[in-house]
Amino acid sequence: MTTFDRRQVLRAGLWAGGAGLAGLWARQAHALTVTPQQTEGPFYPRAAPREIDADLTWVAGQNEPALGVPTRVFGRVLSEDGRPMTGVKVEIWQCDIHGYYHYLGAPPHGADPNFQGYGQTTTRADAGYDFRTIRPVAYGGRTPHIHFAVSGDGFRRLTTQMYVAGEAKNARDGILNRVRDPEQRAALIVPLDPHETEPGALSGRFDLVLGRTLFE
């Protein structure tokens, strides 16, 4: 299957689920936990990458997908009172399977050339977003995580991180455990379950909730 064909299947199969979940998300909007701010890096790209789409597992001009377990990360962006935040930019960035961040300068020796490293998308009419990436891996003293940023008109930028449920290093990760509120900390930790239609792939939902202070 060509990259183009595969991406068409991805859009049709993975992203179509957003509409079916809209009613469930709407019913949950009354009990939202604000997503806490977390550090940006220092691994945010220093310059805009050549490729910035929502599929980090394929790079234009490459013949192979990124190393690692394909993982769909999806969710909604909402205000604290449950208002859908449509048309806002969602960015993610993370290290490759070898623990290297891309776009910080010269490509590090041994980095996976097939991993995009950074992606962005815009929330749909239902405030949903979708990314295809790899399961994050640990590096140095950090537990596996994916960096997120949400930005748009009328509110200050939210920068945070998503963590993987069940990782032993979660209990010792200094950045994760700076979040003292148990509910907010738990909201950053996402179960990655087997993907329903893609054998060997994972899927996890990470909703991002913008607190009132971001709008002040």
- Tell me the pLDDT tens digit for each residue of 17-76: 444 444 444 444 456 999 999 999 889 998 878 899 999 999 999 999 999 999 999 999
pLDDT recorded at residue 30: 55
- Tell me the pLDDT tens digit for each residue of 156-208: 999 999 999 999 999 999 999 999 999 999 999 999 999 999 999 999 999 99
Q: Compute CA distances 27 → 42, 69, 106, 115, whole Å.
A: 37, 32, 47, 37
Cα 26 to Cα 207: distance, rounded to the nearest angstrom: 12
Per-residue buried b or exposed e for 147-164, using 16+ beta carbons within 10 Å of the residue's own CB: bbbbebeebeebbbbbbb
Task: Say yes or no to pLDDT of 7 above 60.
Answer: no
Q: How many domains does the chain have?
A: 1
3-state secondary structure of 118: strand
Cα 150 to Cα 193: distance, rounded to the nearest angstrom: 24
Cα 175 to Cα 159: distance, rounded to the nearest angstrom: 13
Task: Determine the structural domain holding residue 34 and report its residue range.
Answer: 3-215
Q: What is the CATH number of the domain that holds 30?
A: 2.60.130.10
Dihedral angle sign, alpha carbons of residues 127, 133, 138, 141: negative
Going by C-alpha positions, the residue among 150, 168, 160, 29 that lies closest to residue 94 is 160
| Token pair 């979660």 in the structure block, residue | 170
- One DSSP character per residue, 136-155 reads ---BTTBPSEEEEEEEETTE
Cα 15 to Cα 99: distance, rounded to the nearest angstrom: 28
Q: Given pLDDT bands bounded at 50, 70 and 90, which one contains residue 216?
A: very high
| Token pair 């996976």 in the structure block, residue | 112
| Token pair 């792939």 in the structure block, residue | 201
